[in-house]
Amino acid sequence: MFTKHTYVSGTTKTLAEHFLNLAIENATQFKLQSNELIVDIGGNDGTQLLQYRKGGHRNLMNVESAENIAEISRSMGIPTYNVFFNEEFIDKTDTDGKARLINAAGVFFHLEELHSVCKAIKRMLAPNGVFVVQFMYLVDIIKHKAFDAIYHEHLCYYTLESLENLLKPYDLRIFDAYESPIHGGSMIAKVCHKEATYKNTMNYVTVAEIEATFNPNYTRLLQFAGEVEQLKLEIMGLLQKIKGDGNLIYGYGSPAKGTTMLTYCGIGTNFLDYLVEINDLKVGLRSPGTNIPIIHEETVGKPHGHKRPDYYFVLAWNFWKEIHSKFHIKKLMADGTKFILPLPKVQVYP
Protein backbone atom coordinates (compact mmCIF):
# COMPACT_ATOMS: atom_id res chain seq x y z
CA MET A 1 0.00 0.00 0.00
CA PHE A 2 2.83 2.42 0.77
CA THR A 3 5.24 1.45 -2.02
CA LYS A 4 3.17 3.33 -4.60
CA HIS A 5 0.45 5.85 -3.84
CA THR A 6 -1.09 9.12 -5.03
CA TYR A 7 -0.81 11.43 -2.00
CA VAL A 8 1.50 14.40 -2.60
CA SER A 9 2.20 16.87 0.25
CA GLY A 10 3.01 19.75 -2.09
CA THR A 11 -0.47 19.80 -3.62
CA THR A 12 -1.84 22.16 -0.96
CA LYS A 13 -0.38 25.57 -0.21
CA THR A 14 -1.75 25.35 3.36
CA LEU A 15 0.36 22.30 4.17
CA ALA A 16 3.54 23.81 2.69
CA GLU A 17 3.01 26.96 4.77
CA HIS A 18 2.43 24.85 7.88
CA PHE A 19 5.67 22.96 7.23
CA LEU A 20 7.56 26.22 6.72
CA ASN A 21 6.30 27.69 9.99
CA LEU A 22 7.18 24.50 11.84
CA ALA A 23 10.68 24.40 10.31
CA ILE A 24 11.31 27.99 11.44
CA GLU A 25 9.93 27.18 14.89
CA ASN A 26 12.11 24.09 15.33
CA ALA A 27 15.25 25.75 13.97
CA THR A 28 14.79 28.59 16.47
CA GLN A 29 13.67 26.53 19.46
CA PHE A 30 16.50 23.99 19.16
CA LYS A 31 19.17 26.27 17.64
CA LEU A 32 19.67 23.91 14.70
CA GLN A 33 22.97 24.30 12.87
CA SER A 34 23.18 24.14 9.08
CA ASN A 35 25.33 20.98 9.11
CA GLU A 36 23.24 18.98 11.59
CA LEU A 37 21.32 15.98 10.21
CA ILE A 38 17.56 16.46 9.76
CA VAL A 39 15.58 13.33 8.84
CA ASP A 40 11.99 13.06 7.64
CA ILE A 41 10.30 9.67 8.11
CA GLY A 42 7.85 9.12 5.26
CA GLY A 43 8.80 12.56 3.95
CA ASN A 44 6.67 12.17 0.81
CA ASP A 45 7.70 14.55 -1.99
CA GLY A 46 10.18 16.39 0.25
CA THR A 47 7.93 19.39 0.96
CA GLN A 48 8.81 19.45 4.69
CA LEU A 49 12.56 19.18 4.12
CA LEU A 50 12.43 21.87 1.43
CA GLN A 51 11.35 24.30 4.17
CA TYR A 52 14.48 23.49 6.19
CA ARG A 53 16.60 23.96 3.08
CA LYS A 54 15.11 27.46 2.72
CA GLY A 55 16.55 28.15 6.17
CA GLY A 56 20.05 27.17 5.08
CA HIS A 57 20.05 23.58 6.35
CA ARG A 58 21.92 21.26 4.00
CA ASN A 59 22.26 17.91 5.79
CA LEU A 60 18.82 16.49 4.89
CA MET A 61 17.49 12.95 4.54
CA ASN A 62 14.08 11.78 3.36
CA VAL A 63 13.12 8.14 4.04
CA GLU A 64 10.12 7.52 1.76
CA SER A 65 8.67 4.09 1.00
CA ALA A 66 6.71 4.97 -2.17
CA GLU A 67 8.89 4.65 -5.26
CA ASN A 68 6.93 7.15 -7.37
CA ILE A 69 6.83 9.76 -4.59
CA ALA A 70 10.51 9.26 -3.65
CA GLU A 71 11.40 10.08 -7.26
CA ILE A 72 9.56 13.41 -6.96
CA SER A 73 11.53 14.15 -3.77
CA ARG A 74 14.82 13.42 -5.51
CA SER A 75 13.83 15.68 -8.41
CA MET A 76 13.49 18.46 -5.81
CA GLY A 77 17.10 17.92 -4.82
CA ILE A 78 16.35 16.18 -1.51
CA PRO A 79 18.58 13.14 -0.70
CA THR A 80 16.00 10.35 -0.51
CA TYR A 81 16.10 6.70 0.50
CA ASN A 82 13.30 4.66 -1.07
CA VAL A 83 12.83 2.25 1.86
CA PHE A 84 10.77 1.79 5.01
CA PHE A 85 12.21 3.38 8.15
CA ASN A 86 13.13 0.76 10.75
CA GLU A 87 16.12 -0.71 12.59
CA GLU A 88 17.41 -2.39 9.44
CA PHE A 89 17.68 1.04 7.83
CA ILE A 90 19.81 2.32 10.73
CA ASP A 91 22.12 -0.70 10.39
CA LYS A 92 22.63 -0.09 6.67
CA THR A 93 23.19 3.67 6.87
CA ASP A 94 25.35 3.89 10.00
CA THR A 95 23.31 6.76 11.43
CA ASP A 96 23.33 5.80 15.14
CA GLY A 97 23.19 8.94 17.27
CA LYS A 98 23.58 11.30 14.30
CA ALA A 99 20.16 12.92 13.82
CA ARG A 100 19.69 16.29 15.48
CA LEU A 101 16.04 16.36 14.41
CA ILE A 102 13.74 13.59 13.17
CA ASN A 103 10.36 14.51 11.73
CA ALA A 104 7.30 12.29 11.23
CA ALA A 105 4.35 14.21 9.79
CA GLY A 106 1.17 12.25 9.26
CA VAL A 107 2.88 8.87 9.24
CA PHE A 108 3.10 7.66 12.83
CA PHE A 109 -0.51 6.45 12.86
CA HIS A 110 0.10 4.45 9.65
CA LEU A 111 2.88 2.28 11.03
CA GLU A 112 2.53 -1.46 11.39
CA GLU A 113 6.08 -1.90 12.73
CA LEU A 114 5.61 0.61 15.56
CA HIS A 115 8.20 -0.89 17.88
CA SER A 116 10.87 -1.34 15.24
CA VAL A 117 10.38 2.31 14.28
CA CYS A 118 10.59 3.46 17.90
CA LYS A 119 13.82 1.49 18.35
CA ALA A 120 15.22 3.04 15.19
CA ILE A 121 14.30 6.56 16.35
CA LYS A 122 15.93 5.90 19.73
CA ARG A 123 19.12 4.75 18.04
CA MET A 124 19.27 7.48 15.39
CA LEU A 125 18.52 10.42 17.69
CA ALA A 126 21.57 12.41 18.86
CA PRO A 127 21.93 12.90 22.65
CA ASN A 128 20.46 16.40 22.28
CA GLY A 129 18.24 15.39 19.35
CA VAL A 130 14.50 15.95 19.05
CA PHE A 131 11.83 13.79 17.43
CA VAL A 132 8.90 15.88 16.14
CA VAL A 133 5.79 13.81 15.55
CA GLN A 134 2.63 15.25 13.96
CA PHE A 135 -0.51 13.15 14.22
CA MET A 136 -4.28 13.32 13.99
CA TYR A 137 -5.37 13.84 17.57
CA LEU A 138 -8.20 11.66 18.91
CA VAL A 139 -9.55 14.47 21.10
CA ASP A 140 -9.91 16.74 18.04
CA ILE A 141 -11.42 13.93 15.97
CA ILE A 142 -14.12 13.58 18.62
CA LYS A 143 -14.62 17.32 19.12
CA HIS A 144 -14.95 18.02 15.39
CA LYS A 145 -16.92 14.82 14.63
CA ALA A 146 -14.19 14.12 12.07
CA PHE A 147 -15.15 10.48 11.53
CA ASP A 148 -13.66 10.61 8.03
CA ALA A 149 -10.20 10.47 9.65
CA ILE A 150 -10.94 6.81 10.28
CA TYR A 151 -9.92 4.62 7.34
CA HIS A 152 -7.76 1.67 6.36
CA GLU A 153 -4.38 3.44 6.37
CA HIS A 154 -4.77 4.63 9.96
CA LEU A 155 -3.96 1.88 12.43
CA CYS A 156 -3.72 4.05 15.57
CA TYR A 157 -5.60 7.07 16.90
CA TYR A 158 -3.40 8.77 19.46
CA THR A 159 -3.93 10.80 22.55
CA LEU A 160 -0.97 12.39 24.28
CA GLU A 161 -1.24 9.71 26.97
CA SER A 162 -1.25 6.78 24.53
CA LEU A 163 1.76 8.20 22.65
CA GLU A 164 3.63 8.58 25.94
CA ASN A 165 2.84 4.94 26.78
CA LEU A 166 4.29 3.86 23.44
CA LEU A 167 7.51 5.85 23.83
CA LYS A 168 8.18 5.18 27.52
CA PRO A 169 9.71 1.66 27.14
CA TYR A 170 12.33 3.19 24.83
CA ASP A 171 13.29 5.90 27.34
CA LEU A 172 11.82 8.59 25.13
CA ARG A 173 9.67 11.35 26.64
CA ILE A 174 7.43 14.14 25.37
CA PHE A 175 8.44 17.58 26.64
CA ASP A 176 6.48 19.89 24.32
CA ALA A 177 3.08 19.51 22.65
CA TYR A 178 0.39 21.69 21.18
CA GLU A 179 -2.68 21.42 18.96
CA SER A 180 -2.60 22.53 15.33
CA PRO A 181 -5.58 23.12 13.00
CA ILE A 182 -3.83 21.31 10.12
CA HIS A 183 -5.80 18.34 8.70
CA GLY A 184 -8.85 19.41 10.69
CA GLY A 185 -7.17 18.94 14.08
CA SER A 186 -3.70 17.58 14.82
CA MET A 187 -1.20 17.37 17.63
CA ILE A 188 2.46 18.29 17.33
CA ALA A 189 4.57 16.59 20.00
CA LYS A 190 8.30 17.01 20.56
CA VAL A 191 10.21 14.11 22.02
CA CYS A 192 13.70 13.66 23.44
CA HIS A 193 15.78 11.04 25.26
CA LYS A 194 14.64 10.50 28.84
CA GLU A 195 17.93 11.86 30.19
CA ALA A 196 18.05 14.93 27.89
CA THR A 197 17.93 18.36 29.52
CA TYR A 198 14.80 19.64 27.75
CA LYS A 199 12.22 20.81 30.30
CA ASN A 200 8.47 20.34 29.96
CA THR A 201 6.88 23.40 28.35
CA MET A 202 3.70 25.09 29.51
CA ASN A 203 2.13 24.05 26.19
CA TYR A 204 2.69 20.40 27.12
CA VAL A 205 1.33 20.86 30.65
CA THR A 206 -1.78 22.63 29.36
CA VAL A 207 -2.55 20.01 26.67
CA ALA A 208 -2.11 17.17 29.17
CA GLU A 209 -4.50 18.85 31.61
CA ILE A 210 -7.15 19.51 28.93
CA GLU A 211 -6.92 15.92 27.67
CA ALA A 212 -7.35 14.53 31.18
CA THR A 213 -10.46 16.69 31.66
CA PHE A 214 -11.92 15.71 28.27
CA ASN A 215 -11.32 12.02 29.07
CA PRO A 216 -11.65 10.33 25.63
CA ASN A 217 -12.73 7.00 27.10
CA TYR A 218 -15.09 4.29 25.84
CA THR A 219 -18.22 6.13 26.99
CA ARG A 220 -17.10 9.28 25.18
CA LEU A 221 -16.45 7.26 22.02
CA LEU A 222 -19.97 5.83 22.12
CA GLN A 223 -21.31 9.38 22.39
CA PHE A 224 -19.13 10.32 19.41
CA ALA A 225 -20.66 7.46 17.39
CA GLY A 226 -24.15 8.78 18.11
CA GLU A 227 -23.15 12.30 17.07
CA VAL A 228 -21.71 10.99 13.80
CA GLU A 229 -24.94 9.10 13.08
CA GLN A 230 -26.91 12.33 13.50
CA LEU A 231 -24.44 14.16 11.27
CA LYS A 232 -24.95 11.54 8.56
CA LEU A 233 -28.72 12.07 8.66
CA GLU A 234 -28.22 15.82 8.34
CA ILE A 235 -25.83 15.46 5.38
CA MET A 236 -28.08 13.04 3.55
CA GLY A 237 -31.20 15.10 4.17
CA LEU A 238 -29.53 18.12 2.59
CA LEU A 239 -28.14 16.19 -0.41
CA GLN A 240 -31.48 14.49 -1.06
CA LYS A 241 -33.26 17.86 -1.10
CA ILE A 242 -30.65 19.47 -3.39
CA LYS A 243 -30.64 16.52 -5.78
CA GLY A 244 -34.43 16.27 -5.66
CA ASP A 245 -34.63 19.87 -6.84
CA GLY A 246 -32.77 18.82 -10.00
CA ASN A 247 -29.35 20.24 -9.15
CA LEU A 248 -26.03 18.91 -10.50
CA ILE A 249 -23.53 18.07 -7.72
CA TYR A 250 -19.81 17.27 -7.94
CA GLY A 251 -17.44 16.32 -5.15
CA TYR A 252 -14.56 18.72 -4.48
CA GLY A 253 -11.33 16.79 -3.91
CA SER A 254 -10.79 13.05 -3.61
CA PRO A 255 -8.80 12.60 -0.37
CA ALA A 256 -8.60 9.21 1.31
CA LYS A 257 -10.85 10.54 4.06
CA GLY A 258 -13.44 11.27 1.38
CA THR A 259 -13.91 7.54 0.83
CA THR A 260 -15.02 7.15 4.46
CA MET A 261 -17.44 10.05 4.07
CA LEU A 262 -18.91 8.70 0.82
CA THR A 263 -19.26 5.06 1.81
CA TYR A 264 -20.58 5.70 5.33
CA CYS A 265 -23.24 8.09 4.03
CA GLY A 266 -24.04 5.99 0.95
CA ILE A 267 -23.07 8.75 -1.50
CA GLY A 268 -22.19 7.48 -4.97
CA THR A 269 -22.99 8.44 -8.54
CA ASN A 270 -26.60 8.68 -7.36
CA PHE A 271 -25.60 12.05 -5.87
CA LEU A 272 -22.20 13.06 -7.29
CA ASP A 273 -21.47 12.85 -11.01
CA TYR A 274 -17.74 13.53 -10.60
CA LEU A 275 -15.02 14.29 -8.09
CA VAL A 276 -12.74 17.15 -9.17
CA GLU A 277 -9.00 17.17 -8.40
CA ILE A 278 -5.84 19.18 -9.01
CA ASN A 279 -3.57 16.18 -8.29
CA ASP A 280 -2.70 14.66 -11.69
CA LEU A 281 -1.92 11.30 -10.06
CA LYS A 282 -5.62 10.88 -9.21
CA VAL A 283 -7.20 12.20 -12.41
CA GLY A 284 -8.68 9.41 -14.53
CA LEU A 285 -9.16 7.09 -11.55
CA ARG A 286 -12.38 6.35 -9.66
CA SER A 287 -13.27 6.60 -5.99
CA PRO A 288 -12.99 3.21 -4.21
CA GLY A 289 -16.30 1.47 -3.67
CA THR A 290 -18.49 4.32 -4.90
CA ASN A 291 -16.89 4.29 -8.37
CA ILE A 292 -17.24 8.05 -8.96
CA PRO A 293 -15.00 9.25 -11.84
CA ILE A 294 -12.23 11.70 -10.90
CA ILE A 295 -11.67 14.58 -13.32
CA HIS A 296 -9.31 17.55 -13.36
CA GLU A 297 -10.75 20.75 -11.97
CA GLU A 298 -9.55 22.71 -15.00
CA THR A 299 -11.88 20.76 -17.33
CA VAL A 300 -15.02 21.97 -15.53
CA GLY A 301 -16.99 24.70 -17.28
CA LYS A 302 -14.64 24.74 -20.28
CA PRO A 303 -15.65 24.24 -23.94
CA HIS A 304 -15.72 20.51 -24.68
CA GLY A 305 -15.19 19.93 -20.97
CA HIS A 306 -17.56 19.04 -18.14
CA LYS A 307 -20.63 21.05 -17.28
CA ARG A 308 -20.29 23.35 -14.28
CA PRO A 309 -22.21 21.95 -11.28
CA ASP A 310 -24.76 23.82 -9.19
CA TYR A 311 -23.12 22.51 -6.00
CA TYR A 312 -19.77 21.14 -4.88
CA PHE A 313 -19.72 18.70 -1.94
CA VAL A 314 -16.36 19.50 -0.31
CA LEU A 315 -14.60 16.27 0.68
CA ALA A 316 -11.35 18.16 1.33
CA TRP A 317 -13.15 20.28 3.94
CA ASN A 318 -10.04 20.55 6.13
CA PHE A 319 -8.49 22.79 3.44
CA TRP A 320 -11.60 24.92 2.99
CA LYS A 321 -9.83 28.14 4.02
CA GLU A 322 -7.34 27.68 1.17
CA ILE A 323 -10.01 26.54 -1.30
CA HIS A 324 -12.27 29.47 -0.41
CA SER A 325 -9.43 31.98 -0.91
CA LYS A 326 -8.81 31.00 -4.54
CA PHE A 327 -9.89 33.56 -7.12
CA HIS A 328 -11.71 31.09 -9.36
CA ILE A 329 -13.67 29.72 -6.38
CA LYS A 330 -14.80 33.21 -5.40
CA LYS A 331 -15.85 33.78 -9.02
CA LEU A 332 -17.77 30.48 -9.07
CA MET A 333 -19.67 31.49 -5.93
CA ALA A 334 -20.38 34.93 -7.40
CA ASP A 335 -21.79 33.17 -10.47
CA GLY A 336 -24.12 31.05 -8.33
CA THR A 337 -22.23 27.81 -7.61
CA LYS A 338 -22.60 26.74 -3.96
CA PHE A 339 -20.27 24.70 -1.78
CA ILE A 340 -21.44 22.19 0.83
CA LEU A 341 -19.16 21.60 3.83
CA PRO A 342 -19.98 18.38 5.73
CA LEU A 343 -17.63 19.06 8.68
CA PRO A 344 -17.11 20.21 11.38
CA LYS A 345 -20.76 21.13 10.87
CA VAL A 346 -22.96 21.05 7.78
CA GLN A 347 -22.84 24.43 6.03
CA VAL A 348 -23.58 25.78 2.55
CA TYR A 349 -21.48 28.61 1.06
CA PRO A 350 -22.22 31.31 0.10
pLDDT of residue 220: 95
State the Cα–Cα distance between residues 222 and 200, nearest whole angstrom.
Answer: 33
Boundary-marking domain end, from 188, 216, 244: 216
1 in a structural domain:
no
Phi and psi for 22 in degrees, rounded to 5? -70, -40
d(CA 296, CA 279): 8
Q: How large is the average pLDDT for residues 250-255?
A: 96
How confident is the model at residue 185, as a pLDDT? Answer: 80
Same domain, 241 and 340: yes
CATH number of 234's domain: 3.40.50.720
Q: Hey, what amino acid is at 116?
A: S
CATH of residue 142: 3.40.50.150
Residues 120 and 159 in one domain: yes
- The predicted structure's pLDDT at residue 172: 98
Q: What's the total number of domains in the chain?
A: 2
> In this structure, are strands 249-252 and 186-193 parallel, antiparallel, or unpaired?
unpaired
Chain segment 162-215, per-residue pLDDT in tens: 999 999 999 999 999 999 988 778 899 999 999 999 999 999 999 999 999 999
Does 320 reside within a domain? yes
Domain membership of residue 119 (yes or no) is yes
Q: Cα(44)–Cα(85) distance, rounded to whole angstroms?
A: 13
Q: Torsion-angle region of residue 225: left (phi > 0), alpha (psi -120 to 50) or beta?
A: alpha
pLDDT value, residue 118: 96
15 and 29 in a single domain? The answer is yes
State mean pLDDT over 116-139: 96
Domain annotation covers residue 63: yes
Mean pLDDT of 308-316: 97
pLDDT of residue 246 exceeding 80: yes
Q: Kindly state whether residues 208 and 104 are assigned to the same domain.
A: yes
Would you state the pLDDT for residue 223? 97
HSE-CB of 159 using CA atoms within 13 angstroms: 17
The answer to the question of residue 315 being in a domain is yes
Query: In terms of domains, do 168 and 73 share one?
Result: yes
Residues 158 and 290 in one domain: no
Per-residue pLDDT of 21-65, as tens digits, reads 999 999 999 999 999 999 999 999 999 999 999 999 999 999 999
Is 96 a residue whose pLDDT tops 90? yes
- Cα torsion angle, 243, 247, 248, 249, sign: negative
Answer whether residue 1 shows pLDDT above 80: no
If asked whether residues 87 and 192 sit together in one domain, one would say yes
- pLDDT reported for residue 112: 83
Q: Is residue 298 part of a domain?
A: yes
Percentage of the chain with pLDDT > 90?
85
Last residue of a domain, one of 216, 234, 266: 216
Rounded mean pLDDT, 334-338: 95
In this structure, are 224 and 194 located in the same domain?
no
Pairing of strands 249-252, 311-314: parallel
The last residue of one of the domains, among 201, 216, 231, is: 216
Per-residue confidence (pLDDT) for residue 304, from 0 to 100? 87
pLDDT at 150 over 80: yes
User: In sequence order, what DSSP letters do the residues of 24-58 get, joined into one string?
Assistant: HHHHHHTT--TTSEEEEET-TTSHHHHHHHHTT--
What's the whole-number average pLDDT of the chain? 94
Query: Looking at the domain assignment, is residue 75 inside a domain?
Result: yes
Same domain, 184 and 238: no
Do 106 and 254 sit in the same domain of this protein?
Answer: no
Do 253 and 204 lie in one domain? The reply is: no
For residues 326-348, give the mean pLDDT: 95
- Say how far apart CA 350 and CA 348 lie, in whole Å: 6
Predicted local confidence at residue 99, as pLDDT: 98
What range defines the domain where residue 71 resides?
9-216
Question: Are 160 and 227 in a shared domain?
Answer: no
Q: Check residue 263 and give its pLDDT.
A: 97
pLDDT band of residue 108 (cuts 50, 70, 90) is confident
Q: Residue 224 pLDDT > 80, yes or no?
A: yes
Give a yes or no: residue 2 inside a domain: no
